[in-house]
Amino acid sequence: MQFLLTTSKRVFYAIVLLVAVLVLNFSLMHLAPGDVADTISQSMGGADQELLDQIRADYGLDQPFVVQLGRYIGGVLTFDLGFSFFYNMPVTELILQRLPATLLLVLSAQLLALVVGVLLGVMSARKPNGITSHFVTFLALFGYSAPVFWTGILLLIGFSLNIQIFPVAGMQDVTIEGGFWVHAWDIFMHLMLPMITLASIFLALYSRLSRATMMEVLGSDYVRTAKAKGLSQNQVVYKHALKNALSPVITLAGLQFSAVISGAVLVETVFSWPGLGTLAFQSIIARDTPTILGILFFSALVVIVGNLLTDMALRLVDPRLRGR
Amino acid sequence: MEPLLTVENLRIELTTRDGVAPVIDDLSLSLNAGETLSFVGESGCGKSMTALALMGLLPEKVGRVASGKILFDGEDLTQATPRRLREIRGNEISMIFQEPMTSLNPVFSVGEQIAEAIRAHQNLSRTAAWDKAVELLDAVRIPNPKGRAVDYPFQMSGGQRQRAMIAMALACEPKLLIADEPTTALDVTVQAQIFDLLTDLQKQSGAAIILITHDMGAVAEMARDVIVMYAGRKAEYGPVDAIIEHPRHPYTQGLISCVPHIVSDMSEERPDLVEVPGIVPSLKDFGRDQCLFASRCAHRTDECLAGRPPEKHFGASQIADCWHAEAL
Ligand SMILES: Nc1ncnc2c1ncn2[C@@H]1O[C@H](COP(=O)(O)OP(=O)(O)OP(=O)(O)O)[C@@H](O)[C@H]1O
Ligand code: SF4
Ligand SMILES: [Mg+2]
C-alpha cells in the first residue's frame, strides 16, 4: 500500500517534470532563428516571402507563441509529436522506429558497465594491492580521459578492420537469411563494439565507486559477524558485503542515465547505429525542428523512467528505503 | 577433567605504522565446559583481540598469532586450516559483539540472518532453519517471534538486536560463547536483562562463556574466574571470590577500590570500572621488559623498571604478576 502510494506520487512528479521539459524545449526552439517554413522552403530549393507566409499560415506558425505551445503540448498528450518534413513522416512513428535500437544500446551498455564494473570493484577491494586493483586504476584513468568517439574508432580499427571479428557498422546485415536466432546473433555481433565503447565511459566510474564502498563495507561490523557465523568467503563477500555496497553504485548509475544517452548520440554516430542518436544528429543538421523536439522529449522520458527504475532497484536492495 | 579451552603462552602481534607490537603477550588460561571466565581491563588492553584470536578472526594482514597454543577440545586452533576454522566458527565457538547497532547486516531480515547461521552448519531445509530461527527468537524472549523474524535490524531496539545476536550465536548450540562487552552499548535496565538471559541460557545449554565486560557486578555474579588484563598482559588471574576478597596486584586493587560496595550488594547497582588515574601505555610500548603499570603504580621500586614482574601464586589458583604482590 505504502509502496503504491509513494510510487504513484513519484509518477505524478515525473509527469509534471516532463511537461516542464516540454515547455522549456519548445521555448528554446522557438527562440532559435529559422522555423519549419524555412526547412520546407529549403527542401523545395527556396521560396519567396509570399510562399513562406502561406506555409506559416498553413502550419499555424503565424499564431501567437502561447497558442503554438498549447497545441504542441495538446498533441504530445495524444502521442502526436508533429510531422517531420525532412523524413516525410509523423515524428512519433519515426522515433518509435528508432527507439528500440537506442534502448538496446543504452540498456546493454549500462548493464555491461554495471556488472563488469562491480565485479572488478569487488575483486580489487578484496586485494587492494593486487593486479585487478591496478587494472581498475588504469581503466579509470583511461575511461576519464579517452574521448568516446576515439575509443570507438580505435575498437573499429582493431576488431573490425585489422582482426575481422565484428561488423563495421549498422545494426543488422540485411543479406542474412535464417530464423530468429540467426538474426538475434547478427544483431548481437553488431551490438558488441558500440556497447563496449559506450560502456567504457561508465565502467571506470562504477568500478572505482564499488571498490571504495566495498572496501568500507568489508571492514564493517556485520561482515565480521558474517565471518563469525562460519560462512564461506564467497558468501561473506557476494552476499553480505555486496548487497550493502550496491546502493551507492545503483544511485550513481541512475544519475548517469542522461550521460549515457548523450554518450549514445556519439557512439551511434561513430558506428552508424540506427537509433535516436543518429536521428538526432541528422535532424539537427537538417534543422528538422519537430524531430529534434520529439527526440528531446523521448530522451527526457527515458531518463525519467530510468530514474524511477533506479528508485525501485534501490528499494529492492535496501529495506530501510521501503515505506519511505 | 580435561579443560574445554586451554590457552598456552599466547602472543599476538599487530603490525602498525610504528612497527610490530605484542598486543597480547604471554597469556595462558584454561576454561572448563559450562563455566564462565571473565576478562576485565581498560579500553585498548587487548580483550577484543584475544577474543578474535580464539575465533581465528584477527584483522587480516595486521594481526597474527606469533607464538603459543589455543587448545580447544584438544585441537590447536592456531594450526587449524581456514576451512576447519569455518567449521568451528558459529558452530562450536561463537561470539557476540560489542556493538549491537552495527553488528547485524542492515539489508537482511533478522530471521534470515539467524537461519543462515543454522544452515551454514546443519543440513536443514530453508523452512526448517527458519522455524528454528523463530524458536531461538522466542528463547531469547523477543515477544511475537514469528512476526519479528521478518523484521529488519533497523526496526528493532538496541536490546532486541543484542537478543537477536545472542540467538544467532546460540543457534548451533556452541560449546563456547564469547561475549565481548555484550551490554556496553545498552541502557542500564536492558543490561541487567541481557545478563540474566545469558545466565539462564547457559544453564540450559551448558555452554562455557568468556565474558568480556566493564561491569564488575556482572563479573562477581556470573563468572567463576577472572583475568585482569593490563596493556596486553595478564595482571591477575584467579577465582573471582578470592580476587575480590584480596586483590594482589596494585592495578586490580585500583579497579576494585573504585567500586567499594561491590561485595555488599552486587545485584542492586551495577558499577562499571572507573579509570584508575594515569595513562595506559600506547601499543608500541607493550613489548618493553619492565612492569607496564609502573608509571601509575604507588608501590613502584627500581626492580619494577628493571624487568618483567614474575608470576606469584597465592592460595589454590590466584596468580598476580607483580614484583611486590606478597606485600600487598
Ligand atoms: N585493526 C587494527 N589495527 C591496528 N591496531 C588495532 C586494530 N584493532 C585494534 N588495534 C589496537 O589493538 C589494541 C587492543 O585493542 P582491543 O580492541 O583488543 O582492545 P579492548 O581491550 O577490546 O578495548 P575496548 O574495551 O575498548 O573494547 C588497541 O591499542 C588498538 O588500538
Ligand atoms: S611490579 Fe611494581 S610497578 Fe608493577 S604493579 Fe607491581 S609494584 Fe607496581
Ligand atoms: Mg573491545
Residue B277's pLDDT is what?
67
Provide the β-strand partners of residue B157: none
Residue B38's pLDDT is what?
95
For the Cβ of B309 lying below 6 angstroms from any atom of ligand 2, the answer is: yes
At residue B265, does pLDDT exceed 50? no
Is A230 close to B88, i.e. CB distance below 8 A?
A: yes
The CA B297 to ligand 2 mean position distance, Å, reads: 6
Residue A35's pLDDT is what?
72
At residue A56, does pLDDT exceed 70? yes
Q: In which band, very low, low, confident or very high, does the pLDDT at A241 lie, cut at 50, 70 and 90?
A: very high
> Which of A229, A233, A236, A240 should one mutate to test binding to chain B, selecting the residue with the greatest count of B CBs within 10 A?
A229
Residue B193's pLDDT is what?
86
* A206-234 mean pLDDT: 93
Higher pLDDT, B225 or B257: B225
Give the closest-approach CA distance of B90 to chain A in angstroms.
Answer: 4
Task: Work out the mean pLDDT of chain B and round it to a whole number.
Answer: 89
Q: What b/e readout covers B168-181, taking b as 16+ CB neighbours within 10 angstroms? A: bbbbbebbbbbbbb
Ligand that comes closest to the CA of residue B283: 1
Residue B275's pLDDT is what?
53
* A228-246 mean pLDDT: 93
Which chain A residues are within 8 Å of B107, Cβ to Cβ? Answer: 243-244, 317-320
Closest-CA residue of B relative to A232 is B86
Contact, B244 vs B217, CB < 8 A?
no
* A34-40 mean pLDDT: 72
Atom of ligand 2 nearest to the CA of B304: 2
Which chain A residues are within 8 Å of B55, Cβ to Cβ? Answer: 228
Residue A53's pLDDT is what?
81
Report the C-alpha gap between B82 and A2 in whole angstroms: 46
Closest CA relative to residue B58, chosen from B103, B26, B31, B22: B22
Q: Mind listing the pLDDT tens digit for each residue in A160-193?
A: 888 888 887 888 877 777 788 888 888 888 898 9
At residue B173, does pLDDT exceed 50? yes
For the Cβ of B294 lying below 6 angstroms from any atom of ligand 2, the answer is: yes
Residue A1's pLDDT is what?
64
Residue B223's pLDDT is what?
93
**What pTM was computed for the model?**
0.84
Q: In which band, very low, low, confident or very high, does the pLDDT at A211 lie, cut at 50, 70 and 90?
A: very high
Q: Mind listing the pLDDT tens digit for each residue in A137-164?
A: 888 788 778 888 888 888 888 888 888 8
**Helices and strands, counts by H and E, chain A:** 14, 2
Closest CA relative to residue A296, chosen from A272, A280, A274: A280
Which chain B residues are within 8 Å of A226, Cβ to Cβ? Answer: 105
- Most confident listed range (A6-15, A302-311, B140-149): B140-149
The CA B241 to ligand 1 mean position distance, Å, reads: 29
Domain locations along chain A: 2-90, 92-321
Question: CATH second-level architecture of A92-321?
Answer: Orthogonal Bundle (1.10)
Q: In which band, very low, low, confident or very high, does the pLDDT at B123 lie, cut at 50, 70 and 90?
A: very high
- Most confident listed range (A55-64, A76-85, A145-154, B12-21): B12-21
Note every long-range contact of A238-242, with CB atoms under 8 Å and residues 24 or more positions apart, other chains counting.
Answer: A238/A122, A240/B105, A240/B108, A241/A122, A241/A214, A241/A217, A242/A118, A242/A122, A242/A214
Atom of ligand 1 nearest to the CA of B282: 29
- Most confident listed range (A55-64, B157-166, B182-191): B157-166
Task: Work out the mean pLDDT of chain A and round it to a whole number.
Answer: 86
Report the C-alpha gap between A22 and A28 in whole angstroms: 10
Is A320 close to B106, i.e. CB distance below 8 A?
A: yes
The CA B210 to ligand 3 mean position distance, Å, reads: 13
Is B55 close to A225, i.e. CB distance below 8 A?
A: no
Cross-chain CB nearest to A225 (options B87, B91, B103): B103
Q: In which band, very low, low, confident or very high, does the pLDDT at B260 lie, cut at 50, 70 and 90?
A: low
Question: For B73, phi and psi rounded to 5 degrees?
Answer: 55, 35
Q: Which of A5-9, A111-115, B321-325 has the lowest mean pLDDT?
A: A5-9
Element (DSSP H or E) covering residue A26: helix A2-31
At residue B236, does pLDDT exceed 80? yes
Residue B268's pLDDT is what?
45
For the Cβ of B230 lying below 6 angstroms from any atom of ligand 2, the answer is: no
Is B102 close to A220, i.e. CB distance below 8 A?
A: yes
What residues contact residue B7 under an 8 Å CB cut-off, 6+ apart?
A: B27, B28, B29, B30, B54, B68, B69, B70, B71
Is B86 close to A224, i.e. CB distance below 8 A?
A: no
Q: Mind listing the pLDDT tens digit for each residue in B3-49?
A: 999 999 999 999 988 889 999 999 999 999 999 999 999 888 999 99
> Which of A213, A220, A225 should one mutate to test binding to chain B, selecting the residue with the greatest count of B CBs within 10 A?
A225
Closest-CA residue of A relative to B53 is A228
Share above pLDDT 90 across residues of chain A, in percent, rounded to a whole number: 27
Contact, B223 vs B302, CB < 8 A?
no
